[in-house]
Chains A and B, each alone.
Chain A
């Protein structure tokens, strides 16, 4: 785990309310406009974990921005929506990312919104084609898990979010309030690199969870059990021929893309 302080530190209730309130305002406006915006990042974990969301604050996990997943076909509508909500677009990001990402700022209140179109493409690409309709107001739980598990240089904030998710939701083969581990296993079975990073990080979550004094012994045991079940399901999924070929080369060739810090 890398020692990076972004997304970690004390954050008072007023500041947290600012992010949570603004998120609700954007979701309401996008729903009314028929725009598919789905929350990702720390706020998505908070929204989808009503029972264990308190762990973020207890473990010193701070909000830094508001992140969304969206479809590229709605880029124009999203830009108009954000402008109407008082945001200014950083157009350079959209151009440099070749239309894969937009950043909108409301600098007077210290808020910025990140929108990722079609996929989250950092260490590994996680696509959302056909998946944004599955859950609301966040991306599905399987993709939330993968959002964190695809980070090679995983940080404490990512570990905390993953712990919350595993505490709150069971694993299963469906999406409804369940981490669709079948989908995770299927994606990992065709992409050896994603498999390598995901299993490496699940193991880190399992080990690091044992060190948090905020977790009770039975909660630590539950994390251990959830990770073991996830690993077993991923392991059981038949692997593609390309996966098997790539596995023979293993770590001798880098299996991920280098990225800057992401919240």
Chain B
């Protein structure tokens, strides 16, 4: 039986007001342990979507007092992506995966009779690849920069997908026998298998990417500059930065 978007989506929609400041958005993302919020008007109509990646602009562009002041006054409305990409709850997950890849986005707002009823994200699709594994929605474990999920290059991608979902992480670091990092596998790397099925001979080495935020991969591997071939020091993700923005007493909260 064809799996539908409604079978995989996360029901319910978390929203914020368009005039919410970036610091307030960071707090909401952290409190709800999610990576994005729908920005909606007072009548509940979706205006756009704001994610942890969008909030990176706050830290990226605050290079002096003047720019920090400007960024602190920006709102969710200023930084949100719009219009919101949507999909009907009765569409197949293959079509949803295709839409996600084609539009180069990480999540879609799910609607039914034109009304928002949920969100479907890359993580949900990884769960579908992992087969019978329910995504853990209560944790965003990979915000912990000094703890990492690690595998060797020869790990089958189904194993990697299953582990990601079981652990509630969004990425796995790929290393060689000596611990040197080779790349990262995240949900985005696995999306194509939702549409076309998994070739079980493929390993993480075949699908991994290099960790660059500019390429829409939301994490960077932190290596020891004096010993770059050693096991990495950690991983920093976009959510790490948002968590710092949400911390009471940070420049975004004072």
What is the interface of chain A, defined by CB distance below 8 A to chain B? 190, 240-242, 245-246, 248-249, 252-254
B67 interface residue per 8 A CB criterion: yes
Q: How far is the CB of B66 from chain A (nearest CB, A)?
A: 8
A240, B61: Cβ atoms under 8 Å? no
Question: Which stretch of B51-59, B149-157, B200-208 is in the interface?
Answer: B51-59
Q: Are B78 and A249 in contact (CB under 8 A)?
A: yes
The yes or no answer to B117 lying at the interface (CB within 8 A) is: no
A selection of 11 A-B contacts at a CB cut-off of 8 Å is A240-B215, A241-B214, A242-B214, A245-B53, A245-B56, A245-B57, A246-B57, A249-B74, A249-B79, A252-B74, A253-B70
Q: A240 to B213, alpha carbons, bound, how many Å?
A: 11
Is A190 in contact with B70, judged by CB distance below 8 angstroms?
A: no
Task: Enumerate chain B residues within 8 angstroms of A254, measured Cβ to Cβ.
Answer: 66-67
Interface contacts beyond A241-B214, A249-B74, A254-B67: sample of 19 additional A-B pairs, CB < 8 Å, sorted by A: A190-B214, A240-B214, A241-B53, A241-B104, A241-B215, A242-B213, A245-B53, A245-B54, A245-B79, A246-B57, A248-B54, A248-B78, A249-B61, A249-B71, A249-B78, A252-B70, A253-B61, A253-B67, A253-B71
Complex CA distance for A254 and B65, rounded to whole angstroms: 12
- Total A-B residue contacts, Cβ distance less than 8 Å: 36
Could you tell me the distance in whole angstroms from the C-beta of A62 to the nearest C-beta in chain B?
Answer: 36
Chain A contacts for B53, CB-based, 8 A: 241, 245
Contact with A along B73-103 (1 / 0, CB 8 A): 0100011100000000000000000000000
- Nearest to B212 among chain A residues (CB) is A242
- Chain A residues with CB under 8 A of B57: 245-246, 248-249
Is the CB of B216 closer than 8 A to any CB of chain A?
A: yes
Q: Which of B168-220 contact A (CB under 8 A)?
A: 213-216
CB distance from A148 to the nearest CB of B (A): 26
Chain B residues near A248 (CB, 8 Å)? 54, 57, 78-80
Q: Which residue of A lies closest to B55 (CB)?
A: A245
Chain B 31-54 interface mask (CB, 8 Å, partner A; 1/0): 000000000000000000000011
Among all A-B residue pairs, the 3 with the closest Cβ atoms: A241-B216, A253-B67, A242-B214
B contact residues around A253 at 8 Å (CB): 61, 67, 70-71
- By beta carbon, the residue of chain A nearest B62 is A253
Set of chain A residues within 8 Å of B216, measured between Cβ atoms: 241
- B214 to A246, Cβ gap below 8 A? no
Residue in B closest to A242 when the chains form the complex, CB atoms? B214
Q: How far is the CB of A124 from chain B (nearest CB, A)?
A: 15
In the complex, what residue of chain A is closest to B77 when comparing beta carbons? Answer: A248
B80: nearest residue on chain A (CB-CB)?
A248
Distance to closest chain B CB from A219 (angstroms): 40
A125 to chain B, nearest CB (A): 15
